[in-house]
Amino acid sequence: MNLLFIFGLFGILFFILFILLLPLVAIVNLLMSEFKNSNDKIVWLILIIVIPILGSILYFLMSDRQKV
């Protein structure tokens, strides 16, 4: 029973760190990158702020085509 509690606690901590760090890393990467169109950076920033997890995942999957 104690092992389940410890694993559950680590799972929760990992999940919280994932939720907090992924959008933060995406925003830092976004601000350090150059895009072909300056409006793309603003759109990605709004998307990451409004939908943090999904926006971050989409940013990492799709933004390479728009960068210089």
Query: Full-prediction pTM beyond 0.85?
Result: no
| Nearest to 46, CA basis, from 33, 68, 27, 21 | 27
**Tens digit of pLDDT per residue, the chain (68 long)?**
565 566 677 777 888 888 889 999 999 999 999 999 889 999 999 999 999 999 999 999 998 888 88
| Nearest to 55, CA basis, from 39, 66, 64, 43 | 43
State the chain's mean pLDDT as an integer. 87
- In whole angstroms, give the CA distance from residue 15 to residue 27: 19
Angle between helices 2-32 and 52-62 (to 10 degrees): 60
The letter for the amino acid at 15 is F
